[in-house]
Amino acid sequence: MDIHEYQAKELLSKFGVEVLPGALAYSPEQAAYRSRELGGDAWVVKAQVHAGGRGKAGGVKFCRSDAEIQTACEAMFGQKIVTHQTGPEGKGIYRVYVEAAAQIAREVYLGFVLDRSSQRVMIVCSGEGGMEIEEISEERPDSIIRATVEPAVGLQAFQCREIAFALKLDPAVVQSFVRTLMGCYRAFRDLDSTMVEINPLVVTEEGRILALDAKMTFDDNALFRHPQVAELRDKSQEDPRECRAADRGLSYVGLDGNIGCIVNGAGLAMATMDTIKLAGGEPANFLDIGGGATPERVAKAFRLVMSDKNVQAVLVNIFAGINRCDWVAEGVVQALTENPVDIPVIVRLSGTNVEEGQKILAKSGLPIIRASTLSEAAERAVGAWKHDSTKGTKMRAAS
Decide which of 99 and 332 is more confident: 99
**What average pLDDT does range 267-293 have in this prediction?**
86
Would the annotation count 116 as a binding residue? no
> Residue range 75-89: average pLDDT?
82
257 with 284: CB under 8 angstroms? yes
**pLDDT of the residue at 391:** 54
Give the separation between CA 220 and CA 209, rounded to whole angstroms. 31
Indicate whether 38 belongs to any domain: yes
How many domains is the chain built from?
3
Please give the residue range of the domain that contains residue 321. Answer: 240-391
Is 391 annotated in some ligand binding site?
Answer: no
- CB of 167 within 8 A of CB of 145? yes
Residues 308, 328: Cα–Cα separation, whole Å = 21
Q: Are residues 245 and 362 in the same domain?
A: yes
> 55 labelled as ligand-binding?
yes
Residue 256 marked as a ligand binder? no
Same domain, 269 and 166: no
399 found inside a domain = no
Confidence label for 291 from pLDDT (cuts 50, 70 and 90): low
Q: Which of 101, 135, 166 is the last residue of a domain?
A: 101
Residues 6+ apart with CB under 8 A from 65: none
**Ranked by mean pLDDT, which of 224-228, 317-321, 354-358 comes out on top?**
224-228
Q: How far apart are CA 232 and CA 226, in angstroms?
A: 10
Same structural domain, 250 and 381: yes
Statement: residue 297 has pLDDT above 80: no
**Mean pLDDT (whole number) for 63-74:** 93
Answer yes or no: do 65 and 183 share one domain.
Answer: no
Question: Looking at the domain assignment, is residue 397 inside a domain?
Answer: no
Q: Which residues are catalytic?
A: 109, 197
Are 283 and 187 in a shared domain?
no
Would 396 be classed as within a structural domain?
no
Q: Pick from 73, 101, 129: which residue ends a domain?
A: 101
| 17-28 pLDDT per residue, tens | 999 999 999 999
Q: Which of 71, 101, 131 is the C-terminal boundary of a domain?
A: 101
More confident residue, 203 or 138: 203
What DSSP character marks residue 170?
Answer: -
Helix, strand counts (H, E) of the chain = 13, 18
Q: Are 269 and 385 part of one and the same domain?
A: yes
Q: Which CATH number fits the domain that encloses residue 208?
A: 3.30.470.20
Of 393, 268, 248, 362, give the one whose Cα is nearest residue 321: 268
Are 311 and 382 in contact by the 8 Å Cβ rule? The answer is no
Q: State residue 168's pLDDT score.
A: 92
Mark whether 233 and 378 lie in a shared domain.
Answer: no
Question: In whole angstroms, what is the distance from residue 350 CA to residue 366 CA?
Answer: 20
Same domain, residue pair 267 and 192: no
Residue 12: pLDDT band with limits 50, 70, 90: very high
pLDDT mean over 381-392: 75
> Residue 46 above 80 pLDDT?
yes
For the ranges 139-153, 207-221, 276-290, 302-316, the maximum mean pLDDT occurs at 207-221
Find the DSSP H helices in the chain. 5-13, 28-38, 66-76, 133-139, 157-166, 174-190, 227-230, 240-247, 266-278, 295-306, 325-338, 354-364, 374-398
Report pLDDT for 390: 59
- What pLDDT is recorded for position 395? 35
- Give just the sign of the alpha carbon dihedral 112, 113, 117, 120: positive
Confirm whether residue 53 is marked as ligand binding. yes
Decide if pLDDT at 87 tops 90: no
Supply the mean pLDDT for the chain.
Answer: 87
